[in-house]
Homo-oligomer: A and B are copies of this chain.
Amino acid sequence: MNPTPRKLEIITIASALFKDKGFSAVTMRDIAKAMGIKAASLYNHIKNKEEILTFIIISLAEEFINGIDEIKEENNTCIDKLKKIIALHVDIATRNTNGMASLNNDWMHLKDQLDYYLTLRVNYEDTFRTIINEGIKKNEIKSINSDIMLFSILSTLRSLYIWIPQKEDMNSSLLATNLSEVLLKGINK
C-alpha cells in the first residue's frame, strides 16, 4: 500500500482497461502496452496482477465504509442520512469511475483479501439497512420490506459508474439532488 507515483500510474491505467473488458480479459501485456513499456517492466513496480486489483477494490471499499460510518453517527434525520449516502456514492463514482467497475464486477477474483472485502461489504449493507429501519421506526420512511428498499437504492447507486461518463454535462451535486428526489420520493405524480 501507499503506492509510488509510477505504481499509481499502472493502477490507474489498469483500471481503465478493467472497466472495458473486465479483470480476467486484460493481460499484463495489455497493461504494459497502454503504459508504453514491456510487460516484464511492470514487475519493477508491482508484485503481481492480483495486487493491482486488490488495491483498486480495497481502497474503494474502505472509502465507502469510512463514508457511511461517518454519516450514521451524525445527528440527523434518516432521510437526510440517505441523502448523504447518495451524495457519497455520486462523489466516489465521479472521482473514480473506472475503479467502480472493478469493485462491482471483479471482486470475486480477489484472493488474499477476498474475505476482508466481503466483511466490508456486509458491514456497509448492514449499516445502510439499519438507517432505513430506523427511518421506518421514526415514521420517516414507508413501512415496506426494508430489503427491497435497500436493494432498489443500492442497485442504482452501484450502477452510477456506467451512467456518469455518459452525462458529463451534469455536475455532481445536481446529479445527487435529482437522484435523491427520484430514489426517495419516486417518479409518480
Binding site for B on A (CB under 8 A): 20-22, 24-25, 79, 105-106, 108-109, 132, 135, 139-142, 144-145, 147-149, 151-153, 155-156, 158-159, 162-163, 167, 175, 178-179, 181-189
Contact = CB atoms under 8 A, between A and B. Distances in A.
Contact of A188 (B22, B142, B148): B142
Contacts of A108: 20-22
26 contacts: A20-B108, A21-B24, A22-B24, A132-B187, A141-B189, A142-B181, A142-B188, A142-B189, A144-B181, A144-B182, A144-B187, A145-B178, A147-B167, A148-B175, A148-B178, A148-B179, A148-B182, A151-B156, A152-B182, A152-B183, A155-B162, A182-B186, A184-B186, A184-B187, A185-B186, A185-B188
B179 A152 contact: yes
